[in-house]
Structure 1
Amino acid sequence: MSTPSTVSNPRPRIWAMGISRLRDLFVDIASEYAGRADLRVVARGFDDAMQEIDAAGGERPDVIVAGGSNAAYLKARVNVPVVAITPTGFDVMQALARARREGNSVALVTHGETPDEVKRFTAAYGIDVIFASYRSTEDAEDCVRELQERGVDAVVGPGHVTDLAERAGMGAVFLYSRTSVRSAFDTALEVAQATRAEGVRRQRLDNLLQHLRDGVVALDAQGRVEAINQRLAGVLGIDAASAAGMPLQQLAPDIASALPDADGDTLVSVRGTSYLVHRGPLAGAGHAAGTVLTFQESRAVERLDRTLRSRQRGQQFTARYKLDDLVGECPSIERVRTLVRRYAKSDATVLILGESGTGKEMVAQSMHRLSARRDFAFVAINCGAFPEALLESELFGYEEGAFTGARKGGKAGLIEAAHRGTLFLDEIAEMPLPLQSRLLRVLQEREVVRLGSTEPTRVDIRVVAATHRALTEGIEAGTFRADLYYRLNILSIALPPLRERTTDVLPLAAELLLQAAAREPRLSTRVPDLQAATRVLAQIGEPLRGYAWPGNVRELQNVIERIAVELADAEEDTGDAFTREMLDVVAPELAASSVPKKNDALTLRERSRHVEADEIRAMLAACGGDRDAACKALGISKTTLWRKLNATQ
């Protein structure tokens, strides 16, 4: 069965192939199946029938119905299921009774050996019958000639045999009845439907294999390739289509010889790259019918292992930071604290904006700990740290059997794990577009559907998203959905970069140094408290405040770690202070930097104006430039729209 015919013709395509009397019987019955199948009567047999099938191309039949030697001939030569017409006991009894009226000596001729049940049937009813059989058209001619010589009056058999008998002057009774032909057609329908279902299953399996990030090959019990995805074929340098049916030993002898004899994992080198190969059973009919090999690049496994280890489930589901951990006294930080306290009382979705390293997750955790959801899970996931397929299964979960390697019993996703708590989506701008549409539905319906399932699960979650990118630019570039943006940007918090918080740099540095000292026994006596940490850093306050800190608090933390290591290794008689000369050695990048000019830094009010202007431009783009529609959607007047757009010029 070909995929194109399945798509273009939803009804099973059945060819009834026969000549003479069987063909006439097919024609009489075919109309009964018009609504259930595309049934075509083909007056061909043997080689002519094969030529007809080959000429059909993409319109080949799903199943063939034929009788006697024609069915046996086609079964052995065509790659299409063939259903042979089988006469019932009632057919045999009726045909023999009719033949008795033709003469005293009656012969029953069948293709192949006469079934034992037919012999027992005639013996039980005391019917005197000569049994004969044939295997080819030539055998049939010899068989009929021999029966004629034996004085047989009437012959019961298939169409070709009865035609020969008539030409020889004997009585002839056609063996097949309407009942047996209908039974063959019904069987053909079942076979066609099963074949099509298997074709759809195989197509889905192939599609799944092609979309897997890992290389996968399925081998039969003899080690021949049953299926291979394009990713692995590319790694091996072979053509996926031509690999089917070939032994893996012939395609990749080095890999075949390196595989373990039993199921398990092993490392294999392919063209200089190391792969972790997992060998597992390919199940079929309740037992192992082959082998499945999964190839994962070892470097990807190591990266994933580091990512998963850094996000232990216990820590991932707990908010560790509180609002007091947000160090700083400048007005912009005070404004952030005020918004965190205010937004913690709401369940509305929050979008946290800020450069990398400004503390977006700290703010999200602080908000969770102040909210009514504090006793439930805080689930954080970095949308840019996982491959798309893994991110989807991590977020939405999956049912048992949803894909190769799926855990028995399935697995709940992180959205379900955050039920009654908070789901923090860091780097939301990195989320792939297909997953954005699924997340949008979660935000709208508060329902999640696992991979491989059709049943939605209700979830009660508060979503907090964060990004260091301008989402409005992603909307214009087509990498971020505008409707998702408006679902996320209900409440918004903009975190100021460290270069705009010069008065907070030294207090932050002192707090970070105190934390580093707590982890370093050699330094804990020299920096026992925050006052001591401030005294140690007093001489380098000016260069710390004068640096632009493109990495923000994260970069400051790195510099303080270097300072802590230098202090721990320094001699005790060098004093407690960390000097400018020592800083030039530890962090030379600070020496060439200065505080940005005051008019180079945007105030919180100016940043808010830019955010508003970006939102207005995005809405104008969504409305095709129609200002009336944009104003109505935003709930503002044209005058306000014009003023806010020009405020950033």
Structure 2
Amino acid sequence: MSTPAFDPAQRPRIWAVSISRLRDLFFDIASEYVERADLRIVAHGFEDAVHEIDAAGAGRPDVVIAGGSNGAYLKTRVSVPVVLINPTGFDVMHALARARRDGASVALVTHGDTPDEVKRFTAAYGIDVVFASYQSAQDAESVVLDLRDRGIDAVVGPGLVTDLAAHAGMGAVFLYSRASVRAAFDTALEVAQATRRETVRRQRLDNLLQHLRDGVVALDAQGRVEAMNQRLAAVLGIDAANAVGRSLLEIAPDLAGALPDADGDTFSPVRGVSYVVHRGPLAGSGTAAGTVLTFQESRAVERLDRTLRSRQRVQQFTARYRLDDIVGACASIERVRTLVQRYARSDATVLILGESGTGKEMVAQSMHQLSARRDFAFVAINCGAFPEALLESELFGYEEGAFTGARKGGKAGLIEVAHRGTLFLDEIAEMPLSLQSRLLRVLQEREVVRLGSTEPTRVDIRVVAATHRALTEAIEAGRFRADLYYRLNILSIALPPLRERPGDLQPLAAELLLQAATREPRLTARLPDAAAAARALAGIGEPLRRYAWPGNVRELQNVIERIAVELADTDPDEAGEIRLTRDELRTVAPEIFESSARTRKAALTLRERSRHVEADEIRAALAACDGDRDAVCKALGISKTTLWRKLNTV
């Protein structure tokens, strides 16, 4: 339960309450405490004083000072500490001596039973005193009238009694002295300071409790609520402040059967939501005086677990390439850039089509870098680079003992590692059929089951797949599942082969040469920028453009590496620059000048392959547009005639 906030440096608020002559003493000594306390003297008593204290709200006193029956009444009816004014032995002796001067017979009237030490004191000094006591204001009036009828001349007592005695025509001596009232004020200051220290401590603990992400409740030994944070109160649909002091199961019957019987954890549903409920002891005075219950939503535990898993190996799986790393200015490459930027804003699965060496993984990494998943792992695996059994364990992971040689403790698969990031499946057409069905379930259910386990693990991944094959042909041949194809081919990007973008060849070769120069110390100073690299390749541009490049950018990079080694040993010309000649190119890359039937046949095969990839992209667009050819033509920027021709030339 929250306590009212206050400034710890503020003076403590002390109310002195009296409806009798005690009030005069309050006024007399008030000036002595004005620097240490915010003092208020209240001319009300009993029920009226209770109402005034309750109505004060945030301005209510820290401590109340009162005497006699008024103090006893307030002590049991207000929630703030009440300090009672207690007369000292000197006060009693001095008051009795004064009363003896005013009358022959004297009565000492006290609230509650007369203390034994007072009786022993009067007996020891031979003072003839009648003792009387009262419990309430009405009782005090009866006592005073009875004493008057018994012939008592003077009455010693608290303010209420002396006022009644004076009204009855009797002598009245006020029992309290300045010393006893000062003692009460000093005690009130100590109580106020101690209360404020405790309030500050409780406020800090309450603030800590309210900032916890889990629901928390503290119970006493009888199961009553001592404290509850707002998070749990909101879950249970109750008011945390009103819950204090009441049985938890009484105000939240939904928890019956959901709480652990002993210290420890249990998995329980609360109002339709699953929680991990922990029970622990609430210590007090060295023993367990109650119970602390914490409620942690199971989905939060799962999210935390997945986050930790995904970050454990994130440094191993990072994307290196960005969109700016894709070199080229032709229309097809510009379209690729546009699609990468557009698809990066989506979480839909993407299928990248293109011949080997066209930069499919570079495109996938660029898309990841532009997406909301950029801070998490980019996990790439070549589906054709592993035997079936090894690929299955790499992708899906395994439990300890799942097979001979399994790592102790098991191993998370790459699908789990990619949690909250991107999973890139290169050469997806090479994936065995048995694993295709398991991958399809991952894409549909977003959960993975390790080898040797029956418990599914939830994963949040974005899948990007790539292939250089025509998947439609693989489907017809029974090597690829049609349902997996449609699940993968939601969004698609087709990468053009290098031979179809001759205008990009020179700038791409210059960029690759510049990168190679950074790895070759002898070239670093000679090729300081892309312009210098372009000049070094200026003499061999024509044979580079005429070559079909069946290996695409990867093959070009291979040739450029050889050119870099050759240029490192080339002497600079009069202008201080190095250039590669056609003869030198023929020496380091003779395949570029070959024009055999074998090369022409390979080029023809690549052209046919390109047409298949292009047709696959068109079919993917048709599937995405529900067969609407007008929409497909508009999206791809082609005419209906071109659409028909490209679909029927493969």
Could you state the TM-score of these two structures normalised by the residue count of structure 2? Answer: 0.51
What residue in structure 1 maps to residue 235 of structure 2?
235
> Per the alignment, in what secondary structure is the counterpart of residue 80 of structure 1?
coil
Shift of 1:259: 2.2
State the alpha-carbon separation in 2 of the partners of residues 89 and 8 from structure 1: 37
Partner deviation per Cα, 1:122-180 (whole Å, 9 max, x = no partner) = 44555443321111122212222333344434322111112223334433221111121
Amino acid at match of 2:83: V
Is the CA contact 1:141–1:164 (under 8 Å) kept in the aligned structure 2? yes
Is the alpha carbon distance of 1:283 and 1:124 closer, same or farther for their aligned partners in structure 2, counting shifts above 3 Å? farther
State the alpha-carbon separation in 1 of the partners of residues 133 and 26 from structure 2: 24
What residue in structure 2 maps to residue 144 of structure 1?
144
Is the alpha carbon distance of 1:233 and 1:88 closer, same or farther for their aligned partners in structure 2, counting shifts above 3 Å? same
Mapping of 1:235-314 within 5 angstroms?
235-305=235-305
State the alpha-carbon separation in 1 of the partners of residues 129 and 148 from structure 2: 14
What residue in structure 2 maps to residue 67 of structure 1?
67
Structure ID, larger Rg:
2
Which of these residues, 595, 600, 613, is aligned with residue 495 of structure 2?
595
Partner deviation per Cα, 1:352-376 (whole Å, 9 max, x = no partner) = xxx99xxxxxxxxxxxxxxxxxxxx
Could you state the TM-score of these two structures normalised by the residue count of structure 1? Answer: 0.51
Is the CA contact 2:266–2:278 (under 8 Å) kept in the aligned structure 1? yes
State the alpha-carbon separation in 1 of the partners of residues 431 and 128 from structure 2: 108
Mapping of 1:604-643 within 5 angstroms?
none
Shift of 1:111: 0.3
Is the CA contact 2:68–2:84 (under 8 Å) kept in the aligned structure 1? yes
Instruction: Establish whether residue 585 from structure 1 lines up as the match of residue 490 from structure 2.
Output: no
Instruction: Establish whether residue 134 from structure 1 lines up as the match of residue 134 from structure 2.
Output: yes
Which of these residues, 555, 565, 569, is aligned with residue 424 of structure 2?
555
Structure 1 residues not aligned, in runs of 5+ = 334-354, 357-466, 475-479, 481-494, 499-504, 522-550, 568-577, 607-649
Mapping of 1:237-636 within 5 angstroms?
237-305=237-305, 468=369, 509=382, 513=386, 555-556=424-425, 562=431, 585=480, 593-595=493-495
What residue in structure 2 maps to residue 416 of structure 1?
none
Is the CA contact 2:383–2:391 (under 8 Å) kept in the aligned structure 1? no
Is the CA contact 2:2–2:203 (under 8 Å) kept in the aligned structure 1? no
Shift of 1:112: 0.6
Partner deviation per Cα, 1:511-540 (whole Å, 9 max, x = no partner) = 96499959979xxxxxxxxxxxxxxxxxxx
Shift of 1:103: 4.1
> Per the alignment, in what secondary structure is the counterpart of residue 294 of structure 2?
strand
Shift of 1:94: 2.4
Partner deviation per Cα, 1:420-457 (whole Å, 9 max, x = no partner) = xxxxxxxxxxxxxxxxxxxxxxxxxxxxxxxxxxxxxx
Amino acid at match of 2:38: D
Is the alpha carbon distance of 1:511 and 1:327 closer, same or farther for their aligned partners in structure 2, counting shifts above 3 Å? farther
Is the CA contact 1:517–1:564 (under 8 Å) kept in the aligned structure 2? no
Shift of 1:21: 1.9
State the alpha-carbon separation in 1 of the partners of residues 41 and 287 from structure 2: 40
Is the alpha carbon distance of 1:605 and 1:196 closer, same or farther for their aligned partners in structure 2, counting shifts above 3 Å? farther
> Per the alignment, in what secondary structure is the counterpart of residue 269 of structure 1?
strand
Q: Which moved more, 1:101-110 or 1:63-72?
A: 101-110
Is the alpha carbon distance of 1:239 and 1:154 closer, same or farther for their aligned partners in structure 2, counting shifts above 3 Å? closer
Is the CA contact 1:513–1:561 (under 8 Å) kept in the aligned structure 2? no
State the alpha-carbon separation in 1 of the partners of residues 421 and 190 from structure 2: 68
> Per the alignment, in what secondary structure is the counterpart of residue 91 of structure 1?
helix
> Per the alignment, in what secondary structure is the counterpart of residue 6 of structure 2?
helix
Amino acid at match of 2:480: V
What residue in structure 2 maps to residue 178 of structure 1?
178
Partner deviation per Cα, 1:451-501 (whole Å, 9 max, x = no partner) = xxxxxxxxxxxxxxxx94699xx9xxxxx9xxxxxxxxxxxxxx9x99xxx
Amino acid at match of 2:27: V
What residue in structure 1 maps to residue 216 of structure 2?
216
State the alpha-carbon separation in 1 of the partners of residues 117 and 430 from structure 2: 91
State the alpha-carbon separation in 2 of the partners of residues 190 and 69 from structure 1: 23
> Per the alignment, in what secondary structure is the counterpart of residue 140 of structure 1?
helix
What residue in structure 2 maps to residue 38 of structure 1?
38
Amino acid at match of 2:42: V
Instruction: Establish whether residue 83 from structure 1 lines up as the match of residue 80 from structure 2.
Output: no
State the alpha-carbon separation in 2 of the partners of residues 469 and 35 from structure 1: 65
Amino acid at match of 2:495: V
Partner deviation per Cα, 1:359-409 (whole Å, 9 max, x = no partner) = xxxxxxxxxxxxxxxxxxxxxxxxxxxxxxxxxxxxxxxxxxxxxxxxxxx
Is the CA contact 1:85–1:180 (under 8 Å) kept in the aligned structure 2? yes
Shift of 1:89: 2.2
State the alpha-carbon separation in 1 of the partners of residues 504 and 207 from structure 2: 53
Is the CA contact 2:108–2:129 (under 8 Å) kept in the aligned structure 1? yes
Amino acid at match of 1:49: A
Is the CA contact 2:224–2:245 (under 8 Å) kept in the aligned structure 1? yes
Mapping of 1:1-80 within 5 angstroms?
6-7=6-7, 10-80=10-80
State the alpha-carbon separation in 1 of the partners of residues 389 and 244 from structure 2: 59
State the alpha-carbon separation in 2 of the partners of residues 149 and 266 from structure 1: 74
Is the alpha carbon distance of 1:159 and 1:307 closer, same or farther for their aligned partners in structure 2, counting shifts above 3 Å? same
Question: What count of residue pairs does the alignment treat as equivalent?
Answer: 398
Is the alpha carbon distance of 1:106 and 1:511 closer, same or farther for their aligned partners in structure 2, counting shifts above 3 Å? farther
Shift of 1:284: 4.1
State the alpha-carbon separation in 2 of the partners of residues 552 and 305 from structure 1: 15
What residue in structure 1 maps to residue 593 of structure 2?
none
Is the alpha carbon distance of 1:595 and 1:5 closer, same or farther for their aligned partners in structure 2, counting shifts above 3 Å? closer
Shift of 1:18: 1.0
State the alpha-carbon separation in 2 of the partners of residues 42 and 105 from structure 1: 35
Is the alpha carbon distance of 1:212 and 1:169 closer, same or farther for their aligned partners in structure 2, counting shifts above 3 Å? same
Is the CA contact 2:2–2:241 (under 8 Å) kept in the aligned structure 1? no
State the alpha-carbon separation in 2 of the partners of residues 181 and 512 from structure 1: 93
Partner deviation per Cα, 1:590-649 (whole Å, 9 max, x = no partner) = 99654368799998999xxxxxxxxxxxxxxxxxxxxxxxxxxxxxxxxxxxxxxxxxxx
What residue in structure 2 maps to residue 164 of structure 1?
164
Is the CA contact 2:210–2:229 (under 8 Å) kept in the aligned structure 1? yes
Partner deviation per Cα, 1:540-599 (whole Å, 9 max, x = no partner) = xxxxxxxxxxx99951479599469879xxxxxxxxxx9987797389569965436879
Amino acid at match of 1:114: T
Is the alpha carbon distance of 1:520 and 1:227 closer, same or farther for their aligned partners in structure 2, counting shifts above 3 Å? closer
Is the alpha carbon distance of 1:204 and 1:562 closer, same or farther for their aligned partners in structure 2, counting shifts above 3 Å? farther
Is the CA contact 1:46–1:73 (under 8 Å) kept in the aligned structure 2? yes
Partner deviation per Cα, 1:7-59 (whole Å, 9 max, x = no partner) = 59922111111133210000011111111111011122223323433443443
Amino acid at match of 2:424: E
> Per the alignment, in what secondary structure is the counterpart of residue 102 of structure 2?
coil
Shift of 1:215: 1.7
State the alpha-carbon separation in 2 of the partners of residues 566 and 60 from structure 1: 73
State the alpha-carbon separation in 2 of the partners of residues 210 and 4 from structure 1: 15
State the alpha-carbon separation in 2 of the partners of residues 111 and 64 from structure 1: 18
State the alpha-carbon separation in 2 of the partners of residues 305 and 102 from structure 1: 87
State the alpha-carbon separation in 2 of the partners of residues 138 and 59 from structure 1: 32
> Per the alignment, in what secondary structure is the counterpart of residue 65 of structure 2?
strand
What residue in structure 1 maps to residue 602 of structure 2?
none
RMSD, aligned CA: 5.0
Is the alpha carbon distance of 1:286 and 1:25 closer, same or farther for their aligned partners in structure 2, counting shifts above 3 Å? farther
Is the CA contact 2:17–2:41 (under 8 Å) kept in the aligned structure 1? yes
Is the alpha carbon distance of 1:560 and 1:87 closer, same or farther for their aligned partners in structure 2, counting shifts above 3 Å? farther
